[in-house]
Amino acid sequence: MRMRWIPPAILPRRMGGRCVDLPAGRNLPPAGVARGATAGHLDLAMHPAGQAGKVGWSCSSADIPDVQALAASCAYRPVPPGPARDLMAVERFKLDVALSIDGAPVDRAAGVCLGKGEVYRFGGTRDASRPPVRGTVGVRPIQGGQVEILSDLEGGILRQPIHPKLHAFPGQTATIQVGEKAGGGHPADRTVKLDVTATPGCA
């Protein structure tokens, strides 16, 4: 399962990093859905609409119980309960980190071993006209057998630094993506994407 943090500034028109041309009158998710640096996780799907050139959408969430308040096409689908491992006593985690700019990988690290309070620094660039993308990522255990991914991102297409936090189970990939993708006859990718997978312990 992939989880994506969607900054409030891009949620209404660029859902999940895709520019969407919605039919007139269709309700859009309000910009206040994601508040502060911590947001819930939305899985957004695009569907062909009856009118040529238009797109409909639906969404689901595993951790926003009132997600249907966004739109009737949204559904709350919690992860089925299972035996959760208590991670609170885990001192070190192994991280796989991948940074992509405009759809191309620029920095990748596997098996980074971090303790509580430690961070991994990453960075890269693909366009000399923009400042390099830089950032840090760390991890800490939280209740319920999950980990909290703490990140900082700046540079590139970002007008100001952002500080997303994501919750994930060990082994799940948490994805932070900012920007837009345009399809059609002139495809374009102007995104910054960070994928982080954390597992307890370091070999």
Domain limits, the chain: 2-76, 92-200
CA–CA distance from 32 to each of 70, 73, 121, 153, 158 (Å)? Answer: 11, 18, 30, 21, 19
Q: Return the percentage of the chain with pLDDT > 70, whole number.
A: 68
Position of tokens 């997303």? 164
The secondary element (H helix, E strand) that includes residue 40 is none
Tell me, yes or no, if the pTM score tops 0.85: no
Q: What's the CA angle centered on 37, arms 32 and 41, to 5 degrees? A: 70
Task: Write out pLDDT tens, residues 50-59.
Answer: 555 555 667 7
Count of C-beta atoms within a 10 Å radius of residue 151? 24
